[in-house]
Amino acid sequence: MEETLEEGQTTSSLVAPIIFVFVFTLHLFDAYLAHLKKKASVTEKDAQLRAEIRQLLKEAAALSEPSTFAQSAKLRRLASAKEKELAKSQESASKEIKTSIALFEKMLMISKILTYLIFIWCFWRIPVAAISKELVQPFGRFLSWKTGGSVNGSVMVGVIPWLILSNRVGKYFCNKAFK
C-alpha cells in the first residue's frame, strides 16, 4: 500500500484519490447550494404571474386594429403592472433566500479553506501521487513542486498542484452534473 521513496519518504497510494474526493464533495455542496438558491427563487406565484403576463401580451398583440387600440393599450398597461409586481416578488424572495443560504455558504467557504490548509500542512513535502514522466512531460517540475522531483522514472506530485488540479476537475464535473 505504501511506496518507499528516496530519502526515507513514503507515500500512500490512496492519498491522491482521498484528496480528490474531499475536494469534489465540497464542490458538490457548493453546487447544491447554488441550485437551491436558483430553485427557491422561482415560486408558483411567480410562474402564474409570468403566464398571465404572456397571455395579456398575446391578447394585446391580437388587438392590433385602430378601432381596438384602446383595449390593446389597456392590456399592455395591465401586463406592465403585473411585471412590476413580479419584479417586487422576485426581489423579496431573493432577499429571503440570500439571508437563509448566506450562512451555509460562509460555513462552506471556511470549511474549504480549512480543508485545503490541513491537506497542505499534512502533505507539505510528501508526494501525494507518482505519475510517469512521459504523461506530464512539460509540467513535471511544476507538479513536483516541493516534493523532491522524480524517482524511478516517475514524477512525484506535490499537494498544492494536486489541490489545484482537483479543484478545477471538481468544479468542471459539478457544473456538468447540475446543468
Give 104-143 pLDDT, tens digit per residue. 999 999 999 999 999 989 888 788 877 777 777 776 666 6
Tell me the C-alpha distance between 145 and 168, whole Å.
Answer: 18
pLDDT of the residue at 115: 93
State the amino acid at position 148 in one-letter form: G
Which stretches in the chain have pLDDT values below 70? Answer: 1-12, 40-42, 139-151
pLDDT of the residue at 109: 94
pLDDT of the residue at 24: 93
pLDDT of the residue at 6: 47
Tell me the C-alpha distance between 155 and 97, whole Å.
Answer: 47
Tell me the C-alpha distance between 162 and 141, whole Å.
Answer: 13
pLDDT of the residue at 79: 87
Range list of β-strands (E), the chain: 2-4, 10-12, 129-132, 150-151, 154-157
124-135 pLDDT, tens digit per residue, is: 878 887 777 777
pLDDT of the residue at 8: 40
Contacts 24+ apart (CB under 8 A), 168-175: 169/20, 169/24, 170/20, 170/23, 170/24, 170/26, 170/27, 171/27, 173/24, 173/27, 174/24, 174/27, 174/28, 174/30, 174/31, 175/31
pLDDT of the residue at 43: 72
Q: Is the dihedral of CA 94, 43, 89, 80 positive or negative?
A: positive
